[in-house]
A and B are shown apart, each in its own frame.
Chain A
Amino acid sequence: MATVSVRNVWKEYGAQVVLENIRLEIADHEFVTIIGASGCGKTTFLKMLLGMEQPTRGQILIDGTPIRPEPDPDRGVVFQRYSSFPHLTVLENVMLGLELKAAKLAGRLFGSARRAAREAALAMLESVGLAQARDRYPAQLSGGMQQRMSIAQAVICKPKILLLDEPFGALDPGVTADMHQLILRLWAENRMTIFMVSHDIQESFMLGTRLLTFDKLRHDPQAPEAYGASVTYDLKLMRNGRGESAPRMAAGI
């Protein structure tokens, strides 16, 4: 269960307004895709959901409780780059979350607990198609494999919410299609609520059950920073059974 309420959230840096008055109610197990021009605050919105940044006004609630003002295991994340640990092998990267959870002091597991975590991580690697690469270091993997690992690393911790910041933006088109199938499968299996920032409109329609576009409603050419972006379109998408979806309702402004 993970519903998200965004209540009148603003984000300002001094006089510059980045986001203004964002209001959203996100149901459990929703796959929210977010698109918008660069610099429109979609990544800032994701950072606030993650706890990396705090809203200057308003608040965000998960299951009715205000989110912690710092990242925590309720909210997993996959960035476009750098979100794995270069000094750990693929297997160790995926095991890390399990080890951190169980071994508060040592940060690593030993004996039978370690074997159990290893088995779980191996099963996860199998599921994302990385079993062969388990002993390699991230730098030895292709971009697509790195993202698979990063997703596995996040999902194995069973977050309520998974945040994806243009996770497939740097990948080849063929690889991206595989990754779409993977993320849809993991989303269905783990019943997470997913937020994905993307710059690919087609991808956003195909993956999402709900699509948000961020843009500025008002614009003052003399003071471009005076107004921030808001949610301009909030589309509920329905899947037609083949993994593709079509807009059902357009709630434009």
Chain B
Amino acid sequence: MRRLINQHPGRAAGLALGVLPFIVLLFVYVIASQLRLAENAGDKLLPSLGTIADTFHSYAFEEDKRSGVVLFWADTWASLKRIGAALGISATLALVLAVCIGVIPRARALLSPLLNTVAMVPPLAVLPILFIVLGLEETSKIALIVIGVAPCVARDLALRVAELPREQIIKAQTLGASTWQLILRVVLPQLWPRLIDALRLSMGSAWLFLIAAEAIASTQGLGYRIFLVRRYLAMDVILPYVVWITLLAVLTDLALRTLRARAFRWAEPDR
């Protein structure tokens, strides 16, 4: 009998093991829901899968009577637009900051203390300021995510630039690289995969800030909907929305991981 640490599951067994906890969770939910519904048919806390499916159908495939839009997709689109714009802005900002801080000593002296301080500001604490200054529209929501995500990504990337071996930087100079060329040909190309990693790690907080902003002031969006129907204990709406948000996050993560593996083959640990 080999040690546990040396027993590797095969491909099929590995997949089955991965799926198992999900099935167990679903099974536990179904049982619990049945038990509660048997006691009180009007129970709203753990709706049956059938009820959830019906509600989901009306949200995802029927137009809302009042607004005339299909709520589920309108919410999804509104949220994705916000988070997409915010992540795009965060990535650009973080990259520019990190390169300046990492490569140019004067810029480091100027910006590093500021960045390290701003990164410590609790983003939710400035949300009221954002609402007051930027209004309740899209800008303030996107700004909240950017404030929450960009400083962390920037600090991470700046550390990555600092980690580049000094030998590389010297070598590039002996090959005639100017500061600009060094950034363009040596630093940036090595930062792309790091940027993807950093974005993947900050995806959780990005969704957190998005939902917080939507919960407080919005007329559309996944977070808005969840907090709206909370008043009616509408678990049959909340649960599929939560599952959907999770699924979107997982898919984004997968997409970023695939992009990294495809586009930056040199950075993969085991080739």
Q: Chain B residues near A86 (CB, 8 Å)? A: 190, 266-267
- Docked pose: A50 CA to B185 CA in angstroms: 21
Interface centre among A71, A72, A87, A137 (most CB of B within 10 A): A87
Q: Chain A residues near B68 (CB, 8 Å)? A: none
Question: Known pairs A71-B174, A72-B174, A87-B267. 20 more at Cβ < 8 A?
Answer: A72-B176, A73-B174, A75-B174, A82-B165, A83-B171, A84-B171, A85-B168, A85-B172, A87-B264, A88-B266, A96-B185, A97-B175, A97-B176, A100-B177, A104-B181, A106-B184, A107-B177, A108-B185, A153-B175, A154-B175
Q: B250 CB to closest chain A CB, in angstroms?
A: 28
B266 and A100 contact, CB distance less than 8 A: no
Taking Cβ atoms with an 8 Å cutoff, the residues of B that contact A are: 165, 167-168, 170-178, 180-181, 184-186, 189-190, 264-267, 271
- Docked pose: A154 CA to B165 CA in angstroms: 17
Q: Which 4 A-B pairs have the closest CB atoms?
A: A82-B165, A71-B173, A97-B175, A82-B167
Between A and B, 27 residue pairs with Cβ closer than 8 Å are A50-B174, A52-B170, A71-B170, A73-B174, A73-B175, A73-B176, A76-B175, A77-B171, A82-B165, A83-B167, A83-B170, A84-B171, A87-B266, A88-B189, A97-B176, A100-B172, A100-B175, A100-B176, A100-B177, A107-B180, A107-B181, A139-B266, A139-B271, A140-B271, A150-B171, A153-B175, A154-B171
Q: Chain B residues near A71 (CB, 8 Å)? A: 170, 173-174
Taking Cβ atoms with an 8 Å cutoff, the residues of A that contact B are: 50, 52, 70-73, 75-77, 79, 81-88, 96-97, 99-101, 104-108, 137, 139-140, 150, 153-154, 157, 159
Find A85's partner among B174, B184, B186, B264 (CB 8 Å cutoff). B186
- Contact (A79, B173) CB under 8 Å given A86-B190, A96-B185, A137-B266: no
